[in-house]
Amino acid sequence: MASHRSATTGAQHRNGRMKIAIVGSGRMGTALGTIWAKCGHDIIFSYARSDKRLAALAARLDARWADVASAVEQADAILLAVHWSRIEDVLSQTGAMTGKIVLNCCVPLDPSDSRLVLGTDRSGAEYLAEHRPEAAWVGCFNTAPSESFDAVFARRDRQQRPQSLCYGDHPEAKRQAKKLIEQVGFDPVDLGDLANARFVEPFAMVTAVLAYEQTGGPNLTYRFEKLRD
């Protein structure tokens, strides 16, 4: 399937424009794709329940939509935002990912979203990197609910911003990922190597409990501070 552009008028793009494939067009992918489109990036949506949904997203944002392989091939960077139960299906469709920057926000959860199926001695991020070692993987966006992103983006010019953890083994990929994290409205916190996903993915469950199981709604962010005397 070739990529498809909506029939709406093209938007003005600023310097630093990237082609970003959104692989997984659910809540997380839609939220981040929408924000990055507003920032002037060329967004290619893929992997949804139907082509109709992808076409509607593209039309609303003057973006494009495509099958997974086409989206990945065209992209400078990829956001992987699917439920863990769909990982094998997605990887079977990506084709070669050589040299691609992949922002991974997936947490290795069981179908009920109540239990990690990998952890402490092996993370979901490491699993993905083992299966696609030719890509430059960066973990990010998996410790804040997607419901918070619009509010974070609206407050992006404030001096004190919420933080987002990121980690990976490729310095240049992390540098590019940090730019995209900052555009959403977060301050990126570099947590080091990809193996540290073993600690981040369980922490994502902490933020999920705070967001979805406690009062106040899912509009949750966090900020770490080192106190000084």
148-203, pLDDT tens digit by residue? 999 999 999 998 999 999 999 999 999 999 999 999 999 999 999 999 999 999 99
The pLDDT value recorded for residue 114 is 85
Phi, psi of 150 (to 5 degrees): -60, -45
Taking residue 53's Cβ as centre, other Cβ atoms within 10 Å add up to: 15
Write out the residue range of the structural domain in which residue 203 sits. 15-212
Is 7 a member of any domain? no
Is 8 a member of any domain? no
Q: Beta partners for 5? A: 64
The pLDDT value recorded for residue 116 is 85
Q: Is the dihedral of CA 87, 90, 96, 98 positive or negative?
A: negative
Cβ proximity of 122 and 198 under 8 Å = yes
Sequence-ordered list of residues with C-beta below 8 angstroms from that of 115, at least 6 positions apart, any chain: 109
2: DSSP letter: -
Percent of the chain with pLDDT over 90: 81
Is 10 a member of any domain? no
Measured CA to CA in angstroms, residue 104 lies from 12, 154, 176, 191, 217 at distances of 28, 23, 13, 14, 25
Query: Side chain identity at 182, as an amino acid letter?
Result: E
Is 217 a member of any domain? no
Is 229 a member of any domain? no
The pLDDT value recorded for residue 4 is 56
Instruction: Tell me the C-alpha distance between 42 and 33, whole Å.
Output: 9
**Helical H segments across 98-148, by residue range:** 124-131
Distance of CA 170 to the CA centre of its chain: 17
Query: Side chain identity at 158, as an amino acid letter?
Result: R
Sequence-ordered list of residues with C-beta below 8 angstroms from that of 71, at least 6 positions apart, any chain: 3, 21, 22, 23, 44, 45, 46, 65, 78
Is 223 a member of any domain? no
**Residues 198/200/203/204 CA torsion (nearest 10 deg):** -110
In the chain, the number of structural domains is 1
Is 226 a member of any domain? no
Is 94 a member of any domain? yes
32-58, pLDDT tens digit by residue? 999 999 999 999 999 988 899 899 999
We report the CATH number of the domain holding residue 50 as 3.40.50.720
Cβ proximity of 76 and 101 under 8 Å = yes
Model confidence at 67: pLDDT above 70: yes
pTM over 0.85: yes
Mean pLDDT of 76-99: 94
The pLDDT value recorded for residue 11 is 32
